[in-house]
Amino acid sequence: SPPAAAEPRHASPAAPRRLREKLRTAARMAAPPAHTAPGSRQQVQGGERRAQPSTGASPARETRTPFRFDYERFCRRLRHPVRGSRAGEDPETRARRMKIKEMMKFAWDNYRQYALGKNELRPLTRNGHIGNMFGGLRGATVVDALDTLYIMELEEEFQEAKKWVEESFDLNVNGEASLFEVNIRYIGGLLATYYLTGEEVFKSKALELGEKLLPAFNTPTGIPRGVINLGSGMSWSWGWASAGSSILAEFGTLHLEFLHLSELSGNPVFAEKASTAQLPLQRVLKRVEKPQGLYPNFLSPVTGNWVQHHVSIGGLGDSFYEYLIKSWLMSDKKDSEAKRMYDEALEAIEKHLVKKSAGGLTYIAEWRGGILDHKMGHLACFSGGMIALGAEHAGEERKQHYMELAAEITSTCHESYTRSDTKLGPEAFRFDAGTEAMATRLSERYYILRPEVVESYMYMWRLTHHPKYRQWGWEVVKALEKHCRVEAGFSGIRDVYSTTPTHDNMQQSFFLAETLKYLYLLFCEDDVLSLEDWVFNTEAHPLPVNHTNFR
């Protein structure tokens, strides 16, 4: 696809009330922002202290202090210590948690030894993999692992990772990156580690990288394209995305991180570009007709119309829904527009996509122009946790209903694991031709260390405390040890139905960011990264709930 050349049309005269309030606050605290994005306003919009045209020496202007996020004050507002208080746990739970910590250390040590500075470890050949998702950025595993190392109190390993970020993490690269992947892994990982530790290096790297992503939003609708050259700022749609479209799960999975970039920099440009509840996403998604209330996965960033009617709560759609409910939670339940969109979307999903198999398993099908595909991807298994999280905050009568739905979906995903020989789940499983919760195609039998099933176990545990979720998580730990642990790290496997599966020679960075973190949290007390204080981005990087507008 050709590079996007259009000018942004959304340079925002009419920010909604909540944003205006935030900008006013930012303006009171800031002047001018320490980080100013290319092409953005040179100072905080709507503030009381606008910069005057230069008329010579202006004492007021000279004495202003640059915006500085008050980390100490932020910490005082947290309701729980980030690593918890460790009260009241039994020895078995502790031993299991320690085992998962050992797995993390093993995964990290091997990455550090054989692949430090590359994006992922190849554990069989003992070398690094770079790939082409991150536009020349390196160290995806370092940045993805940082907050997990910190939470697990792997102090020495955390210091190794931090040192690499300080000394070797180069942002002056010139390659084509996935906007979504750079955002969820790098920006998410850096922001989370800053909030957990207060170490300035993580904040400044996040802001610097965030600015490099802004040109992707320069489209006629403001909906970003999927690929951006981090050097030139040119952006493209994915070659495989129909008719130059942008992907729902990609453009809908930016605003949690971008809101925090604005919080930390005092520069509203990030929030304006990416917030669901504000411009321009909300405008486009509100206007466009949604078939049966569903959101298709492909949207034109030029016209704002759907390009294809494929709906999925798994790949291509998934984290769009996740970020609606989390947007509301992260705003301390103030972003009611995001909540409304989530509630309506979930209602449509339940009405049109949720089905029960002959054997009584609840699953979420995919939808292709009105025709159901009775398939559920591993990616879609995050939805048990998401629905439970949303249920907590639904009205009393809906709460029980959604908790049951969440439990049923999580149980179906557990079935996809127990029905395999390795006790790990396939990339996709189906409910047709007498098959239930198993892959029917050779190409769908692999497992690449994905987190979504244990992610749902973690939420279900926290929200119900039913012991089966810890039991199910422990089964996964044992299966990972048996089938994925190799001499120099953890590897994905090519066939979950083979008792002697071959390895794919790849230790994905999300294994350290998500799979091991969610497993660890499953065996922690609830006050470790408490859901009262944190929402997890879609790569499991914790971002703080805005309890007080950070004032």
Q: Where in the sequence numbering do the catalytic residues fall? A: 181, 318, 427, 452
C-alpha torsion sign, points 83, 85, 86, 88: negative
Residues marked as binding?
A: 538
Q: Which of 538, 541, 543, 546 binds ligand DMJ (CB under 6 A)?
A: 538
Q: CA nearest 349: which of 360, 333, 363?
A: 363
Largest distance between two CA atoms of the chain: 81
Q: Which of residues 446-475 bind ligand DMJ (CB under 6 A)?
A: 450-451
Contact predicate 331/546, CB 8 Å = yes
CB 509, min distance to ligand DMJ, A: 8
Nearer to ligand DMJ, 115 or 184 (CB): 184
Contact letters for ligand DMJ, residues 301-340 (x by CB under 6 A): ------------------x---------------------
Q: How far is the CB of 87 from ligand DMJ (least distance, A)?
A: 31
DSSP structure class, residue 7: P
Q: Judged by CB, which is closer to ligand DMJ: 115, or 540? A: 540
Contact 479, 485 (CB under 8 A): no
256: which 2 tokens?
């949690």
CB of residue 514 to ligand DMJ, shortest distance in Å: 6
DSSP 443: G
User: From the CB of 407, what's the least distance to ligand DMJ, in Å?
Assistant: 21
What x-and-dash track marks residues 206-245 binding ligand DMJ by CB under 6 A? ----------------------------------------
Contacting ligand DMJ within 338-377 (CB under 6 A)? none
Instruction: Please check whether residue 31 is in contact with residue 49, taking contact to mean a CB–CB distance below 8 angstroms.
Output: yes
Residue among 415 and 539 whose Cβ is closer to ligand DMJ: 539
Residues linked to residue 536 through DSSP beta bridges, in sequence order:
542
Q: Which of residues 412-451 bind ligand DMJ (CB under 6 A)?
A: 450-451
> Residue 177 or residue 379: which is nearer to ligand DMJ going by CB?
379
376 to 405: interface string for ligand DMJ, x by CB under 6 A:
---x--------------------------
- Cβ proximity of 538 and 516 under 8 Å: no
Number of residues lying near ligand DMJ (CB under 6 A): 8
Among all residues, whose Cβ is closest to ligand DMJ? 538
Would you say 8 or 451 has its CB closer to ligand DMJ? 451
Assigned token pair, 540: 């499991």
d(CA 223, CA 401): 34
Residue 325 has, within 13 A of its CA and on its CB side, a CA count of 22
Measured distance CA(306)–CA(308) in Å, rounded: 6
Between 74 and 490, name the residue whose CB sits nearer to ligand DMJ: 490
Least distance (Å) from ligand DMJ to the CB of residue 492?
11
Paired sense of beta strands 227-229 and 371-373, if any: unpaired
Cβ atoms of 460 and 388 within 8 Å: the answer is: yes
Question: Of the candidates 476, 422, 435, 421, which has an alpha carbon nearest to the alpha carbon of residue 452?
Answer: 476
Chain residues 41-60 in contact with ligand DMJ, contact rule CB under 6 A: none
Chain Cα centroid distance, residue 62: 40
Residue 539 binding ligand DMJ, by CB under 6 A = yes
CB 97 within 8 A of CB 152: no
Nearest Cα to Cα of residue 284 among 10, 15, 45, 17: 10
Evaluate the CA torsion angle 193, 194, 198, 204 in order and state its sign: positive
The 8-class DSSP code of residue 256 comes to H
If the CB atoms of residues 151 and 247 are measured against ligand DMJ, the closer one turns out to be 247
Shortest Å, Cβ 510 to ligand DMJ: 4
3-state secondary structure of 500: coil
Quick one: angle between helices 336-352 and 383-391, nearest 10?
Answer: 120
Binding residues for Ca(2+), as ranges, are 538
In angstroms, give the least distance from the CB of 395 to ligand DMJ. 29
Residues that bind ligand DMJ (CB under 6 A): 319, 379, 450-451, 510, 514, 538-539
